[in-house]
A and B are shown apart, each in its own frame.
Chain A
Amino acid sequence: GAGVSQSPSNKVTEKGKDVELRCDPISGHTALYWYRQRLGQGLEFLIYFQGNSAPDKSGLPSDRFSAERTGESVSTLTIQRTQQEDSAVYLCASSLVPQVTPNTEAFFGQGTRLTVV
């Protein structure tokens, strides 16, 4: 696609339920990133995929959070047994290559706004 696509755009769920968020990166982008943006806060890194390498999960806040990506395609972020503190906007980004250089850029989706009630 032309840009990074995320679905759903909004999700309201009850505390304790599982949710699955989807990210469709730009075609050909090897690197994919998930970030969390809490109200009034900057972006927090969650997880990073690069090609077929093992993902960097160092930002996942708890074992209730997991993510998958098949090859260089779609990624899903799953939050199990949701809690109210999980309420946030979850942003996905992709880049052609993973490194920050003068000529590379990460492109962001519009995010999924998750509200846990």
Chain B
Amino acid sequence: AQKVTQAQTEISVVEKEDVTLDCVYETRDTTYYLFWYKQPPSGELVFLIRRNSFDEQNEISGRYSWNFQKSTSSFNFTITASQVVDSAVYFCALSRPGTGFQKLVFGTGTRLLVSP
């Protein structure tokens, strides 16, 4: 069975602080995808990143970076120099390649509050 755990329910930081959102996953598959989505107050889920299980390189996109470690089954997300606009709920998700998006397994989300 597949499972995604986001142990941090809510994190509050002050603008310009760095913050890391944790994601731990469980799967018996050797090939899988990991995702991060952002859900701003408007409600829609916004795709941030997809990572293939064969690619353990860390990725940086502007202020965002992701640390994928298969040894610990973690795919953590760091926001550097956080901004108020980063306030949202962030979801980590897991999928088997080739399966449908309906099979995405989501974590319970981490609410990030960035105050000025």
Report which A residues bind B (CB closer than 8 A). Answer: 3-4, 9, 31, 33, 40-43, 45, 48, 50, 56, 59, 89, 91, 93, 95, 98-102, 105-111, 113
Contacts and interface: CB of A to CB of B under 8 A. Distances in A.
Interface in B69-116: 91, 93, 95-104, 106-109
Interface in B10-39: 33, 37
A101 B37 CA distance: 16
Contacts of A100: 33, 95-101, 103-104
Given A91-B44, A100-B96, A100-B104, 13 more contacts: A3-B44, A31-B101, A40-B108, A40-B109, A50-B100, A56-B100, A59-B102, A98-B102, A100-B95, A100-B97, A100-B101, A102-B52, A111-B44
Contact of B106 (A42, A50, A107): A42
B interface, size bucket = 20 to 34
Contacts of A31: 100-101
A45 B103 contact: yes
B108 A98 contact: no
Contacts of B37: 108
Contacts of A111: 43-44
Contacts of A109: 43-44
Contact of B101 (A40, A41, A98, A110): A98
B72 to A, nearest CB: 21
Contact of A43 (B95, B97, B98, B104): B104
B8 interface: no
